[in-house]
Copies of this chain bind each other. A is one copy, B any other.
Amino acid sequence: MKIGIVGLGLIGGCLGLDFKAAGHTVYGVARREHTCEKALTAEAVDVASTRLATLNGCDVVFVCTPIATIVPMVSELAGVLSPEVIVTDVGSVKAALVEAATAQWPMFVGGHPMSGKSEAGIEAAETGLFQGNSYVITPVETATLKTDKGAITTLETLAKQLGSRLYHCSPEVHDRAVAWISHLPVMVSTSLIQSVINEPDNSVQQLAQALASSGFRDTSRVGGGNPELGLMMAQYNRKEVLRSLKRYQQEIALTIEQIEAEDWPAVRQKLEATKAVRSKFL
């Protein structure tokens, strides 16, 4: 297949490497000439260009630009591609963009390969990033829009070639699930760090920094991650992030109540329940 990739960052670069390894021809488009050169050097693409028209002969185009630019980019692609070309994206939120993108391009399929690493950019691209990880496909069906079945099948085939585990759900169910397991943890974790650094007693503050070990390290990890990503989650999955944060807030309030009331059986029951259930998520 001829595969186009718009946006040659970490995810675009990793897709290019894996699709080339699977025998496809990969056409990359980046805004800057310099990024095109780096993608060619990394052998993440066969052809690189700053012009979208380069993607005209592709079978499938992956939009790998930041969330805010996905719908505008689909709109731009609509002026360049022939109507049978499948367009998909890799954005980590879906409801905010899948319907809008499908309205622009009937052959659009929303997708979310759930892989990443702490380094960003084409320089960090590697083969096998998606191997064994989830790839969520989010078709839509409304009164006026319906994701093309053939386009879904093609995306499924490609995602399997990446070695991913495939899931299908609506954009709304996707956004609600990732709010729980990806976006809420970022807010929980950043708030933990923020409340510790607000400790006004300097000797406590310094001792806390000195004594922090694996418990604090793990619980605070995602709160110390890429601020842009955290902001995007809050902006583009606002409704579900707020829903999960408010339920979490109730849980924190309940914990405070139980400890204040010295209701130790309740505290024990909760700790036992969460220990027992956690393995289901791993």
Residues of A within 8 A of B (CB): 114, 133-134, 136, 165, 167, 169, 173-174, 176-178, 180-182, 184-199, 201, 203-204, 207-213, 215-227, 230-231, 234-235, 238, 241-242, 244-253, 255-256, 259-260, 262, 264, 267-268, 270-275, 277-282
User: Quick one: copies of this chain in the complex?
Assistant: 2
> Which of chain B's residues has its CB closest to A244's CB?
B195
Let me know if A185 and B219 touch, CB within 8 A: yes
Contacts known (A167-B211, A260-B242); A252 close to B249, Cβ less than 8 A: yes
- Do B173 and A217 touch across chains, with their CB atoms under 8 A apart? no
Contact status B190-A274, CB under 8 Å: yes
A242-B256, A248-B191, A267-B234 known; A274-B223 Cβ under 8 A:
yes
CA distance A267 to B236 in the complex (A): 13
A177 to B279, CA, bound (A): 30
Name the B residues within 8 Å of A250 (CB-CB).
195
Find the B residue at minimum CB distance from A187: B255
Whether the Cβ atoms of B274 and A210 lie closer than 8 Å is no
Specify which of B180, B238, B274 is in contact with A259 (CB 8 Å cutoff): B238
Q: A270 is contacted by which of B178, B190, B196 (Cβ under 8 Å)?
A: B190
Query: Given contacts A213-B133, A218-B218, A224-B274, is CB(A195)–CB(B231) below 8 Å?
Result: no
Q: How many Å lie between the Cα of A274 and that of B231 in the bound state?
A: 13
Chain B residues, Cβ within 8 Å of A216: 180-182, 185, 281
